Amino acid sequence: MQTASPITDWNALALPALFDALARADAEDAVARALREDLGVEPGARGDITSAASIPAALVGRATIVSRSDGVLAGVRVAEMVARIGGFSVTVHAEDGARLARGTRVATLEGPFAALLAHERTVLNFLTLLSGNATMAARFVDAVRGTRASVCDTRKTIPGLRTLQKYATRCGGATLHRIGLFDAVLLKDNHLGAFAAGTLGARVRDASRRARASGPVAFVECEVDELAQLDELLGLERGVLDIILLDNMDPATLAEAVRRRDARAPHVLLEASGGVRMDTVRAIAESGVDRISVGAITHSAPALDLGLDLEPGDGVVSGEQRAPEPSTHPADSRA
């Protein structure tokens, strides 16, 4: 995983720069793994034996990727990586972060027909997954629009695809939380469970001091699940704690937490977490919290329905060497 500077403000980067700095190296690794899964592993890899047996090598064709439902696009740069490896071209019609209506053309692929067939599933797997994350993020962002709250992602991602999924959530308008364990401090209940009552503030102060002395950190955050803990942390001096995570609190309790924070430590951000669903996020946001972390945007987002329509172009196909019917759905018979 590419880590760059641990204090890089990923949320300040435009999407193209964010992809290059955060996700490109991981995307290249992921694409290579995905193609090995489909085409085999050297030595002796046979590639797409179905297309090799049925498609003339000289036949070229075209494929059009179309959105079959409304959503937000993410993963165009990954599709370009697959195309470069596969030996065909991509013309992009919609960029990452674009709002797609049903029927929107996303991209056109052109090149050897067998290569298009061999790589279509890999292209769609990345695009549908990442666009699904972006679409779910956008739904939550839209749901809290007009409040002060930003929607944040979490580390609840597919192993090996962390930076790609986090990039996708930014495409949907979400705010990136910490990238991993290496760039920020988040003291959660499992870190603090052994601490005696009344020692929370001192323990957090000590952990913050040690972490900041070890090198740059993006922020120091601590989880609480009751207002008494919040009060103890609000008494810490400025510079110790950046964010307090309010775990599984109802909107009324969250609003009281905001009132206490505003009165005692307005420089500290409040983040709500736990029980965040589409039907609860608006009430959580209206409590006045600054951030809402939502694991669902990466661990439970359905794939966006994108189709890839293939059509052979120049060349004659006859007899037993007939091209397959065009694919019209991402879950077609060539699963």
| 40-54, 170-184, 210-224, 245-259: least confident range | 40-54
Mean pLDDT, the chain, whole residue set: 91
**Residue 64 within any structural domain of the chain:** yes
> Which of 78, 181, 50, 74 has the alpha carbon at shortest distance from 136?
74
Q: Which of 96, 221, 247, 305 is catalytic?
A: 247
**Residue 229 within any structural domain of the chain:** yes
In the structure, what pLDDT confidence band is assigned to residue 194 with cuts at 50, 70 and 90?
low
Reported as a single tens digit per residue, the pLDDT across 21-32 is: 999 999 999 999
Give yes or no: residues 105 and 181 share one domain: no
Tell whether the model's pLDDT for residue 332 goes beyond 50.
no
In contact, 281 and 293? CB cutoff 8 Å: no
Tell whether the model's pLDDT for residue 162 goes beyond 90.
yes
**Residue 112 within any structural domain of the chain:** yes
Q: Which of 99, 156, 203, 260 is catalytic?
A: 156
What is the arithmetic mean of pLDDT over 160-187? 97
In the structure, what pLDDT confidence band is assigned to residue 173 with cuts at 50, 70 and 90?
very high
pLDDT of residue 242: 98
| 92-101, 229-238, 266-275, 314-323: least confident range | 314-323
Reported as a single tens digit per residue, the pLDDT across 205-229 is: 999 999 999 999 999 999 999 999 9
Which CATH number do you get for residue 122? Answer: 3.90.1170.20
**Residue 2 within any structural domain of the chain:** no
Give yes or no: residues 307 and 286 share one domain: no
Angstrom distance (rounded) from CA 81 to CA 149: 35
Q: What pTM was estimated for this model as a whole?
A: 0.90
Tell whether the model's pLDDT for residue 317 goes beyond 60.
no
> Which of 125, 117, 49 has the alpha carbon at shortest distance from 88?
117
Backbone φ and ψ of 71, nearest 5°: 180, -165
pLDDT of residue 46: 87
In the structure, what pLDDT confidence band is assigned to residue 330 with cuts at 50, 70 and 90?
very low
In the structure, what pLDDT confidence band is assigned to residue 33 with cuts at 50, 70 and 90?
very high
Give yes or no: residues 93 and 211 share one domain: no
Is 223 among the residues known to form the active site?
Answer: yes
In the structure, what pLDDT confidence band is assigned to residue 42 with cuts at 50, 70 and 90?
confident
pLDDT of residue 23: 98
Give yes or no: residues 91 and 116 share one domain: yes
Q: Which of 26, 183, 223, 290 is catalytic?
A: 223
Q: Which of 188, 259, 264, 277 is catalytic?
A: 188
**Residue 166 within any structural domain of the chain:** no
Tell whether the model's pLDDT for residue 120 goes beyond 80.
yes
Residue 239, both tokens: 């510079």
Is 247 among the residues known to form the active site?
Answer: yes
**Residue 161 within any structural domain of the chain:** no
What is the arithmetic mean of pLDDT over 183-195? 85
Tell whether the model's pLDDT for residue 1 goes beyond 80.
no
Give yes or no: residues 122 and 25 share one domain: yes
Give yes or no: residues 46 and 69 share one domain: yes
Give yes or no: residues 241 and 308 share one domain: no
pLDDT of residue 315: 52
pLDDT of residue 314: 59
Indicate the angle between helix axes 76-86 and 24-39, nearest 10 degrees: 50
In the structure, what pLDDT confidence band is assigned to residue 132 with cuts at 50, 70 and 90?
very high
**Residue 285 within any structural domain of the chain:** yes
> Domain count of the chain?
2
Q: Which residues contact 103 (CB under 8 A, 6 or more apart)?
A: 66, 67, 68
What is the arithmetic mean of pLDDT over 312-334? 42
Give yes or no: residues 136 and 241 share one domain: no
Give yes or no: residues 214 and 233 share one domain: yes
**Residue 282 within any structural domain of the chain:** yes
In the structure, what pLDDT confidence band is assigned to residue 197 with cuts at 50, 70 and 90?
low
Angstrom distance (rounded) from CA 205 to CA 200: 9
Reported as a single tens digit per residue, the pLDDT across 261-282 is: 999 999 999 999 998 999 999 9
**What DSSP string describes 226-273?**
SHHHHHHHHTSPTTS-SEEEEES--HHHHHHHHHHHHHH-TTSEEEEE
CB atoms within 10 A of CB 196: 8
Is 121 among the residues known to form the active site?
Answer: yes
Which CATH number do you get for residue 262? Answer: 3.20.20.70
Give yes or no: residues 285 and 308 share one domain: no
Tell whether the model's pLDDT for residue 58 goes beyond 70.
yes
Structural domain that includes position 77? 10-140+302-312
Give yes or no: residues 273 and 306 share one domain: no
Give yes or no: residues 202 and 113 share one domain: no
